[in-house]
Amino acid sequence: MNNTVKIGIVGYGNLGRGVELAVNRSSDMELVAVFTRREPSSIQASVPAYTIEDAAKFVDKIDVMVLCGGSATDLPEQGPLFARSFHTVDSFDRHAKIPEYFAAMDEVATAAGKISVISTGWDPGLFSLHRMLGEAILPEGNEYTFWGKGVSQGHSDAIRRVPGVKNGVQYTIPSEDAVQRVRDGENPDLTTREKHIRVCYVVKDVHADADKIESEIKTMPNYFADYDTTVYFITEEQLQAEHAAMPHGGTVLRSGTTGSGNKQIMEFGLQLGSNPEFTASVVAASARAAYKMAAAGQRGAKTIFDIPPAYLSSESPASLRKRLL
């Protein structure tokens, strides 16, 4: 197993478990340990679990640390901490904070001679890549990103904060009509309301007023007020039985023109049965790429814009050219 990339996982939630599954399926990577803020003995993983403080002892045993914590508080702290001693990969997803996070990670990783791939996954990640490819190839054109159908964690949380709501799930759904207009090359100007609809499944407290809850959700600023929102009241049993999966997906479209007005449309779409497992699959491939970038003498913070695509694959460049080019 000398040539395998030794992987550690920091944070063992949905994303961490997805990375475990993806790494264990890759013959060129080997999962060594999981690091957690919980009591390690409570973790049921395929490898031993340790405290985050114990990670220092693994400097010679782990090549790439995959940071699976949240973007709000975990990554801003854990990212620079781990980048001092390991190559790292994370899926930091607070779009507005990316420049700041990149700068912090780049400083530490560069000084330590490490690679830190930040903000990988599908958005940020593959969707970002396609927004970039669309602009680079078709500079005259418009970009459209549609999300869904999928569960939005932030909007589901917002529903659950409404008084009288016991539980709830929110689906973001792209407007089929809007997507079709873009595919047809119309280059429409689309308002927020025209691009997506929101559908909520709500479990209310027995004595709560359904009309009042529905009205509070639909008029909630930022989250729902700018959208056509539908609210369904269901039972807790229905919620558990029918809304426990974590599907997501979406589409990035570039609608441009070349020459004397020839329409050219590029489209990248995802239909994901499990959002965290797919994100984890991109993250795992990025861990492989981080290791290869380091082996090629690079250092510092990197994003999907910087990764030579072949580095994401376990296969040799010659084999990729022969089979897939």
| Residue ranges binding a second copy (CB under 8 A) | 18, 21-22, 25-26, 95, 98-99, 102, 119, 124, 126, 128-129, 131-133, 135-140, 183, 185, 257-259, 262-274, 277-278, 280-282, 285, 303-310, 312-315, 317-318, 320-322, 324-325
Three-state SS at 294? helix
CB of 9 closer than 8 Å to CB of 69: no
Nearest distance from C-beta of residue 13 to a second copy, angstroms:
14
Of 29 and 220, nearer to a second copy (C-beta) is 29
Distance CA 161, CA 220 (A): 11
Nearest distance from C-beta of residue 110 to a second copy, angstroms:
14
Nearest distance from C-beta of residue 60 to a second copy, angstroms:
28
- Strands ordered across the beta sheet of 165-174: 150-151, 165-174, 196-204, 228-233
The strand pairing partners of 31, in sequence order, are 7
Of 140 and 209, nearer to a second copy (C-beta) is 140
Three-state SS at 149? coil
Nearest distance from C-beta of residue 180 to a second copy, angstroms:
12
Q: Which of 283, 307, 289 is nearest to 69 (CA)?
A: 283
Of 1 and 318, nearer to a second copy (C-beta) is 318
Three-state SS at 31? strand
Distance CA 16, CA 67 (A): 8
Nearest distance from C-beta of residue 89 to a second copy, angstroms:
14
Nearest distance from C-beta of residue 51 to a second copy, angstroms:
27
Pairing type for strands 228-233 and 196-204 reads: parallel
Read off the tokens for 180: 């079709």
CB of 74 closer than 8 Å to CB of 92: no
Three-state SS at 275? helix
Of 40 and 256, nearer to a second copy (C-beta) is 256
Q: First vs last Cα of the chain: how many Å apart? A: 30
Distance CA 251, CA 255 (A): 13
Nearest distance from C-beta of residue 243 to a second copy, angstroms:
16
Nearest distance from C-beta of residue 295 to a second copy, angstroms:
15
Of 25 and 57, nearer to a second copy (C-beta) is 25
Distance CA 142, CA 256 (A): 6
Of 55 and 252, nearer to a second copy (C-beta) is 252
Distance CA 55, CA 82 (A): 9
Nearest distance from C-beta of residue 111 to a second copy, angstroms:
19
Of 9 and 213, nearer to a second copy (C-beta) is 9
Distance CA 58, CA 316 (A): 29
Of 101 and 227, nearer to a second copy (C-beta) is 101
Of 40 and 121, nearer to a second copy (C-beta) is 121
